[in-house]
Amino acid sequence: MKLNKKFFRTRTFWDADFDKLDVIKDKEFMVSRVVERGSELEILHVHSVLTYLEIYNILKNFMGTPEKILIYYKAMADASS
């Protein structure tokens, strides 16, 4: 299963052209933005598609991810393995 844009609000991506975002090519940006600024529904969608470890690996390689978010997903990935 892959990310589906129908679960994302355009206002979460206020500074990007939402229609041009590609769920495969822009996956890292989209996941980072949703876990940091997304709604509960958007975050639940990401969690339904990706494991905590997959999310953590995306976030640790994406510049600008806040440390507290990295710590949370690292702890969740460790707890679920």
Paired tokens of 65: 């991810």
Alpha-carbon distance 30 to 36, whole Å? Answer: 10
pTM for the complete prediction? 0.91
CA angle at residue 72 from 69 to 76, to 5 degrees?
A: 140
Q: Residues 43, 38, 33, CA angle at the centre, nearest 5°?
A: 100
The ranges assigned to domains in the chain are 23-80
- Give the separation between CA 32 and CA 63, rounded to whole angstroms: 9
Looking at residue 64, its pLDDT comes to 87
pLDDT tens digit at each of 81 positions of the chain = 789 999 999 999 999 999 999 999 999 999 999 999 999 999 999 999 999 999 999 999 998 899 999 999 999 999 997
pLDDT given for residue 81 in this prediction: 79
